[in-house]
């Protein structure tokens, strides 16, 4: 049986940086790299192919990234 926690989390954005894109077809362009902490043991970094993001865009991007991860983070599996 697998159970997934359903409580809401407050995350802390640790850093936002513009970094060179890593995809060959996007050479010369930049991404925004966002690092956030869910708790002391779970720190995540992801990239968004966009620059000059405002606070609301960063918040939305973090929510979207965490929504993909929250089914895994804190998951408990009975064996």
Short-list 14, 2, 20, 16, CA closest to 42: 14
Short-list 11, 12, 17, 14, CA closest to 30: 17
Question: Whole-model pTM above 0.85?
Answer: no
Query: What pLDDT is recorded for position 70?
Result: 77
pLDDT means over runs of 10, the chain (79 residues): 62 95 92 94 92 92 88 75
């Amino acid at each position: 049986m697998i159970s997934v926690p359903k409580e809401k989390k407050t995350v802390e954005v640790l850093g936002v940086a513009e970094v060179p894109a890593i995809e060959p077809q996007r050479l010369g362009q930049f991404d925004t790299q966002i690092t956030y902490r869910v708790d002391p043991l779970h720190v995540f970094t992801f990239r968004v192919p966009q620059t000059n993001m405002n606070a609301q865009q960063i918040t939305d991007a973090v929510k979207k990234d965490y929504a993909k991860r929250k089914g895994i983070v804190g998951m408990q599996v009975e064996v």
